[in-house]
Amino acid sequence: MPDLSSFPITQRWPASHPDRLQHYAAPTPNGVKVSIMLEETALAYEPHLIDIANNESKDPAGPDGRPIAVWESGAILLYLADKTAQLIPNATAQCYETLAWVFFQMSAIGPIFGQLGFFLRWRGKDYEDKRPRQRFADEAKRLLGVLDRRLEGRDWIVDDYSIADIATLGWVNALVESYAAGDILGLSDYSNIQAWLGHGLDRPAVQRGLHIPARPA
């Protein structure tokens, strides 16, 4: 049985199944990336709902059979893709194309959409000065345009469904479900994104992953 006692987080959230990958997250756009990936790959895992500030992921079956701690959602996606040889192309050119779109989500879509969400849903909505909100709305529209053009004539961001789609789906879905930003951004005008989002949300693993770890009732 793997010994996870060296990880302080397991003392607060004990593992009922220490032989499984331990997933510590909240069902945020970043958290559900990992949940969706785990559901897609069918790896055995145990989810733990935790505060975002303490977000970590622990795998007792890491390299050479030793436990490994992996953090940052993009790094976790890459780790799981490498671990399972799933959802990332084998061909070098397509692999790096996929990674480029993962990093596009990490460096642009996530930060900008997240800031827009702050101004639309949380404390930022009460700010009298609306210029910061407009700045993030304008940049979100630009990024949606980049993604929409990429999806022209495509079902997925890179030829087949991959970690590029998994990284991005939760964030685009959050614009509608969490931030109520669809009208502000004119999201319905991005027909390629609408089709892609629909394909993604139709996947059973995505449907499950969007709600893992489950919030208290």
pLDDT per residue as tens digits for the range 75-113: 999 999 999 999 999 999 999 999 999 999 999 999 999
Rounded to two decimals, the pTM is: 0.91
Confidence band for 114, pLDDT divided at 50, 70 and 90: very high
Nearest Cα to Cα of residue 215 among 47, 91, 101, 17: 47
Q: What is the pLDDT of residue 57?
A: 39
CATH topology of domain 8-87: Glutaredoxin (3.40.30)
- The label of the residue with tokens 């897609």 reads 40
CB-side exposure of 173: number of CA atoms within 13 Å? 24
24-43 residue pLDDT tens: 998 999 999 999 999 999 99
Residues β-bridged to residue 163: none
Kindly state the average pLDDT of the residues 179-189: 97
pLDDT at 53 over 70: no
**Both tokens assigned to 153:** 């004539």
Q: What is the pLDDT of residue 54?
A: 46
Confidence band for 1, pLDDT divided at 50, 70 and 90: low
Q: What is the pLDDT of residue 52?
A: 60
Confidence band for 55, pLDDT divided at 50, 70 and 90: very low
**What percentage of the chain has pLDDT greater than the value 90?**
80
Tally of residues, the chain: 217
* CATH annotation of 92-203: 1.20.1050.10
Start and end residues for every CATH 3.40.30.10 domain found in the chain:
8-87
**Both tokens assigned to 165:** 């789609």
Start and end residues for every CATH 1.20.1050.10 domain found in the chain:
92-203
Q: What is the pLDDT of residue 7?
A: 79
| Whole-number Cα distances in Å, 120 to 47, 191, 204 | 29, 23, 29
Kindly state the average pLDDT of the residues 38-54: 85
pLDDT at 137 over 70: yes
**Of 61 and 125, which is predicted with more confidence?**
125
pLDDT-wise least confident of 12-26, 103-117, 138-152:
12-26
- Assess contact for 1 and 18: CB atoms under 8 A: yes
Torsion angle of alpha carbons 21, 172, 179, 13, nearest 10°? 0
Confidence band for 51, pLDDT divided at 50, 70 and 90: low
- Assess contact for 87 and 40: CB atoms under 8 A: yes
Cα 102 versus chain centre, distance:
10
Kindly state the average pLDDT of the residues 128-154: 97
